[in-house]
Amino acid sequence: MSRTTATVAASLPDHWEELVTTALLGTDRRTPPGVAPGPQAPSALLDAAAAATVRRRAGLRPARPAERLRPAPEDPRPALPPAAARRLASLLADRPGASGGGRRGTAPDLMELLPQWLQAANARGYAAPPQALPALLDAARGRTDLRPAALRFAGPRALWLARLNPDWRFALRAAPGGGPSAPDPRDPQDIRRLWHEGLFAERVTLLTALRSRDAAAARALLEETWATERAEDRLTFLDSLRAGLGPDDEDFLERALTDRSRNVRATAAELLSALPASALAARMAVRAAACVAVDRRRDVPAIVVEAPHECDAAMERDGVVAKAPTGRGERSWWLGQLVEAAPLGTWPARLGGRTPQEIVALPVGDGWQGELHAAWCRAAVRQRDAEWSRALLGEPSAPEAGGPGAVSLAERARLLAALGPGERAAWVAGFIETHGLSEAFQLLGVCAVPWAPPLGRAVVDALNIARDAGSYPWSFSGVMGLAERCLDPSEASRLDALLAVPDEPEDAAPGAGGYWSEAFQRLVTTLRLRGAMLAELAAEEPAP
């Protein structure tokens, strides 16, 4: 700074806002106070600003020191074996879409393997490496399906980090005890304080966690404030009662049948109908039984249906929606709601002592079979009745199992969930052997992972048949992706024979042989990688 300029700058008043205004307008239109227009005005302005900056900084009073950050809590779980820790780092480093569009090649999709890795690590009780927590939280932020397993694995240190980074605040809402006011689970007063004073998300998390360990206490807490809650909040809170639903909940749910909100009334009725011994279930049984009977006057007994002619106030109170959806007949709409809410134990006594299999086999008159069977499907799913689920599923080799039929594939997928894992896998394997893979995708999605050997063999054999037939390969990409994640890793050695590029039939899709070979190579590579992942997690830490 020159002596002349320094003199000018020193003579300028420290009006910061005025200097800023002069700089915005420009020294051609406005000059700083005490400076004549001319070529030295810009330099004088900058010197004045520099001097004013020093004076402003020198005049600042020291701020109060921030509260010292508390150290992250300890995670008492055992550390990952070194090989498993390296594997986690490679899984988290993989990013969706890194390879661009088009064919995937033979490389496994590592991000699709992360959920299985987390499940296996959580089953063994390992703690997450501290250096992996940021990437783990970023992955959970981008994929909501990962959050429960990722936050369980990340442990208490993830919540500590989430309070320091707004991008990870989802963890505070999703993880039990993540809120800033997390109560002591042993202190009833602390729990009641959060219930009455907490944010909505904190209250939902609290009610869900409390319901899992003390269903009666959670219900009592909800009853305290039920009358003052908003309708949409009442609906969410009521839905939390599905966990641990039992006869003790009936009185509260009966009172909820008179709620101001139609959605709350409908949910309360649905929950009561899942309790076969409830008074609502008994009322629905009487109504439904009046609509369905066996006509014994025919040579072959058949079910006859007389749907309700009206939906009265008592039916509406019990959750029957009076107005049918567009394109749906009112009487069939009412009938379906009555039958799905009635206990399935109603029907053997009502229909001549027949078993569920015998009832489902009876013909149904006047075109009511689809409506009646669909309602029984919903009831079997709601009541988790394995015997009725088997009857409605039928034999997987039956022609109608492949559709169209009285029971759709979507309904069959829901019915399968009521069966044990082994029985479920055996049914789907039989379905694939008879009907192929084209309709089996949604059925495979409900089977336990890893797939049982009969199901794995059925899928691989069907893929091989499709390849040899020259089928359009891209139509099986979804099933191939499921196989990569769900086949037992021990199946890898059995697939080596499928890696060669097959001879393409004349009518095959162009390039189909190469695609099939590439897909099977990726499948084998992925299975072996999954096997290595499990072995790494099973390895014991070397003794110090």
Residue 340 CA to its chain's centroid (Å): 26
* Max mean pLDDT range (181-190, 200-209, 427-436): 427-436
The count of other CB atoms within 10 Å of the CB of residue 259 is 18
**Which of 7-11, 260-264, 400-404 has the highest average model confidence (pLDDT)?**
260-264
**Mean pLDDT highest for which of 402-411, 446-455, 499-508?**
446-455
* Helices and strands (H, E) in the chain, number of each type: 28, 2
Note the residue count of the chain: 544
Pick from 161, 186, 183: which is nearest to 172 by CA? 161
Contacts of 508-517 with C-beta under 8 Å, sequence gap 24+, read 508/470, 508/471, 509/470, 509/471, 509/472, 509/473, 512/467, 512/470, 512/471, 512/472, 512/473, 513/467, 515/103, 515/473, 515/474, 516/467, 516/473
- Computed over every residue of the chain, the mean pLDDT equals 87
User: Tokens 């009833």 identify what position?
Assistant: 188
Q: Which two tokens stand for residue 212?
A: 């899992």
- CA 439 to chain centroid, in Å, comes to 23
Q: Which residue has the higher pLDDT, 438 or 74?
A: 74
Residue range 142-158: mean pLDDT, rounded: 92
By C-alpha distance, which of 430, 352, 342 is closest to 388? 342
Task: State the pLDDT confidence band at 451, using cuts at 50, 70 and 90.
Answer: very high
Which residue in 230, 272, 270, 281 sits closest to 251, CA to CA?
272
The CB-based long-range contact list for 259-267 (8 Å cut-off, 24+ gap) reads 259/231, 259/234, 260/231, 261/231, 261/234, 261/235, 262/321, 263/231, 263/235, 264/231, 264/234, 264/235, 264/238, 265/317, 265/319, 266/319, 266/321, 267/235, 267/238, 267/239
Interatomic CA distance for residues 273 and 384, integer angstroms: 12
Compute the distance between CA of residue 64 and CA of residue 224 in angstroms, rounded to an integer. Answer: 43
Q: Which one has a higher pLDDT value, 56 or 8?
A: 56
Q: What is the pLDDT of residue 474?
A: 77
pLDDT of 7 above 80: no
Mean pLDDT confidence for 431-439: 90
Span of 60-69, 281-290, 535-544 with lowest mean pLDDT: 535-544
**pLDDT band at 504; cut points 50, 70, 90:** low
For the cut 90, the answer to whether the pLDDT of residue 264 exceeds it is yes
Q: How confident is the model at residue 99 (pLDDT cuts 50, 70, 90)?
A: very low
**Vertex 222 angle, CA 220 and 223, to 5°:** 65
- Going by the DSSP 8-state scheme, the letter that residue 472 receives in this structure is -
What does the pLDDT read at residue 109? 84
How far apart CA 270 and CA 237 sit, in angstroms, is 15
Q: What is the mean pLDDT of residues 471-493?
A: 87
What lies within 8 Å, CB to CB, of 206 at 6+ separation is: 183, 191, 194, 195, 198
Distances, alpha carbon 183 to alpha carbons 11, 102, 200, 271, 357, in Å: 62, 50, 15, 29, 51
CA atoms lying within 13 Å on the CB side of residue 353:
0
Q: Higher pLDDT residue, 432 or 34?
A: 432
The pLDDT, as a whole number, for residue 68 is 83
pLDDT, position 103: 52
Using DSSP, state whether 364 is helix, strand or coil. strand
pLDDT tens readout for residues 205-225 = 889 889 988 999 999 999 999
- Binned at pLDDT 50, 70 and 90, residue 62 comes out as confident
pLDDT at 98: 43
44: pLDDT confidence band, cut at 50, 70 and 90? confident
Q: Is the pLDDT of residue 467 over 80?
A: yes
Q: In this structure, how many other beta carbons lie within 10 angstroms of the beta carbon of residue 58?
A: 7
Q: Could you give the CA distance from residue 267 to residue 382 in angstroms, rounded to a whole number?
A: 12
In the predicted model, what is the mean pLDDT of residues 131-157? Answer: 93
At residue 304, what are phi and psi to the nearest 5 degrees? -115, 145
4 against 429, higher pLDDT: 429
Range scoring the smallest mean pLDDT among 148-162, 235-249, 299-313, 461-475: 461-475
The pTM is what? Answer: 0.76
Query: How far is residue 477's CA from residue 363's CA, in Å, rounded to a whole number?
Result: 39
Categorize the per-residue pLDDT at 4 as very low, low, confident or very high, splitting at 50, 70 and 90. very low
